[in-house]
Amino acid sequence: MNGKAENSDKKAAIVGIVGRTNAGKSTLVNALVGEKVSIVSPVEQTTRNSVRGIVSDSRGQLVLIDTPGLHKAIGPLGKLLNGMARASSAATDILCVVFDASHAPQIEDEGWMARVAREKPDNCVFVLNQCDKSPVFETMYRDSWAANCASAGVEPKWLKVSAMAGDGLDTLLDCLFDMAEVGPALFDDDIVTDYPRKLAIADVVREKLLSRLFQEVPHEIGVAVKDIYESKDQWDVSVVIYVNKQSQKGMVIGKGGQNLKFARKAAEPELSEMFGLRVCLELWVKVEPNWVKNDRLLTEMGYKGSLV
Ligand SMILES: Nc1nc2c(ncn2[C@@H]2O[C@H](COP(=O)(O)OP(=O)(O)OP(=O)(O)O)[C@@H](O)[C@H]2O)c(=O)[nH]1
Ligand SMILES: [Mg+2]
């Protein structure tokens, strides 16, 4: 962190990116930053940490905080993630509430509208994402948002974007910089994220496993980087994948180890590119019943701690 811009008229803001799971928050953060800082998948509750993506330009700096998506909480992990997401609305300057315009509003969407209208009505942007698909539910979202704004006595503000196609993102950045206040940058302007490397590596491995495994298993998986052995131009990384039950171990490993091999082959080049040197992974699967209740493991995976 630095305080370089103290005497300039540059702006700075911490922006919480919140919304229901699968709305496209991480895709949006990556698109705004221009680099992949947060993993993406069609599986619910992909994001499990607050991942900061940093946008710096001539106008100043926006620190975008990608958060876990709100979800009908099933089990302790779901509750932990929902708590993290809700806490973010208090800890940010601006809230960017993301909705998937191609799916009907659900209880979590209504919940965000009511919360934001109550807590930050003047400091929020309402973003209808996935407009490259048919945004058939646009009117329902807009009507509902207008009703919430009317009860809070503010003008509804909303934008249409496609995080995937890149549509509407410049307008969104303009809007966020307009709302930001003059202030010093929090990070050097060549940094795109301060997400710790152990967590970033674990997330990329989890993303590759999610793309391969059944819908039921992913919520039961926890990935932790144990050690990084550094040599001059190579990192050898040992990674443990935690599952709750013996039966899940075989599913994660796959026939003849094919799932682990797939994850390793997909993750290694991406991580090598990300860190600018060869990254070699060693993946282990461990049965740890109730790992989601194990404070030491949750801390190791970064699922416990403050958001901002
Ligand atoms: N067509 C289309 N798909 C999108 C768009 N944005 C995201 N997606 C897809 O929607 C799925 C969920 O995207 P994520 O970015 O992981 O969603 P999220 O809101 O971060 O989800 P959680 O981390 O679970 O809360 C992925 O398959 C994305 O590729 C978009 O603008 N258009
Ligand atoms: Mg996400």
Predicted confidence (pLDDT) per residue in 178-237, tens digit: 999 999 999 999 999 999 999 999 999 999 999 888 666 767 899 999 999 999 899 999
Q: Locate CATH 3.40.50.300 in the chain.
A: 11-182
Which-ligand-closest: CA of 44? 1
Q: Which ligand is nearest to the CA of 84?
A: 1
Share the mean pLDDT of the chain. 89
Q: What mean pLDDT is predicted for residues 251-268?
A: 94
- Which uninterrupted H or E stretch holds 18? strand 11-19
The pLDDT value recorded for residue 120 is 82
Stretch 39-58: mean pLDDT: 90
Would you tell me the crossing angle of helices 138-152 and 107-119 to the nearest 10 degrees?
Answer: 30
The CATH class given to the 197-300 domain equals alpha beta
Q: Which CATH class is domain 11-182?
A: alpha beta
DSSP per-residue letters across 119-163: H-TTSEEEEEE-TTS--TTHHHHHHHHHHHHHHHT----EEE-BT
Q: pLDDT tens across 88-101, in order?
A: 777 899 999 999 99
158 C-beta neighbours (distance < 10 Å), count: 18
- Rounded to 5 degrees, what are φ and ψ at 57? -150, -165
Q: Which atom of ligand 1 is nearest to the CA of 69?
A: 25
Distance 163 CA to ligand 1 centre (A): 8
Which residues are close to ligand 2, an ion, with C-beta < 5 A?
A: 25-26, 46-47
Token representation of residue 169: 């993102």
Q: What tokens does 105 get? A: 């509003």
Q: What is the pLDDT of residue 214?
A: 66
Tokens standing for residue 42: 């069609």
Query: Which of helix, strand or coil describes residue 117?
Result: helix
